[in-house]
Amino acid sequence: MAITTCIFDAYGTLFDVAAAAREAAAEPGREAFAQHWQQVANDWRLKQLQYTWLRAVADAHSDFWEVTQNGLDWALEASGLDGDAELRERLLALYWELSAYPEVPAMLAKLKAAGMNTGILSNGSPDMLNGAVASAGVQDVLDDVLSVEDVQIFKPAAVVYDLVGKRFDCAKSEVLFVSSNGWDAGCATGYGFTTAWVNRAGEPVDRLPWTPQHILTDLTSIPDLASS
């Protein structure tokens, strides 16, 4: 069955999760943070993801904004920066305005021009996602933004992927699901979606029962992949 619907993870896929730390490090007066920003960004993202998995298996859901703050607090303490309350607040503020990757607007516009349904399926809370979408200026090329808050559990729970079929009234085989997380793309393969992993960092494939069907270095070729 042909692809009719292209669904994207948000953070790390459409939006650059390192942008908040990178932009803060470039601001005047943050020379001390500039020495640590890459480690903070990496730790922040890793803990953010780990906390979603732990909350899912422990049946202890909280929204993604709380998880994001928890991850940042761990990352700042690990780098000896937990005493800088102003830095913490600045990083959190910047997270609401993450930059989209350069190819995102044109890629989404091509999908819409080809008649595809487009959407986000994310662990993010609705207000966070709406802020990121508005900041990136891609509202007009997305049909919907779906959040795990509707089902109160994080990915890769199957009920999260169920949201796509319910919203777009499409079969699993009609969906191209795109994520920068190899585990997310792999689990979506197991769910029944056609999948693409955007592996910008050249990481190894996760050792899971399923693997992404396509591995890309950026999102530029998604319109061609969807129509092939």
CA 102 to chain CA centroid, nearest Å: 15
**pLDDT at position 1 over 80:** no
Q: Where do the CATH 3.40.50.1000 domains begin and end in the chain?
A: 5-15+99-227
Domain 19-95 listed as CATH 1.10.150.240: yes
Catalytic residues: 9
Q: Where do the CATH 1.10.150.240 domains begin and end in the chain?
A: 19-95
Encode pLDDT of 26-57 as tens digits. 999 999 999 999 999 999 999 999 999 999 99
pLDDT of residue 157: 97
Encode pLDDT of 162-187 as tens digits. 999 999 999 999 999 999 999 999 99
Q: Which CATH superfamily is domain 5-15+99-227 in?
A: HAD superfamily/HAD-like (3.40.50.1000)
- Average per-residue pLDDT for the chain: 97
| Phi, psi values for residue 7, rounded to 5° | -120, 135
C-alpha–C-alpha distance, residues 193 and 174, integer Å = 8
For residue 179, give the nearest of 162, 169, 193, 167 by alpha carbon. 193
Per-state percent for the chain, helix, strand, coil, to nearest 5: 50, 15, 35
Rounded percentage of the chain residues whose pLDDT exceeds 70 = 100
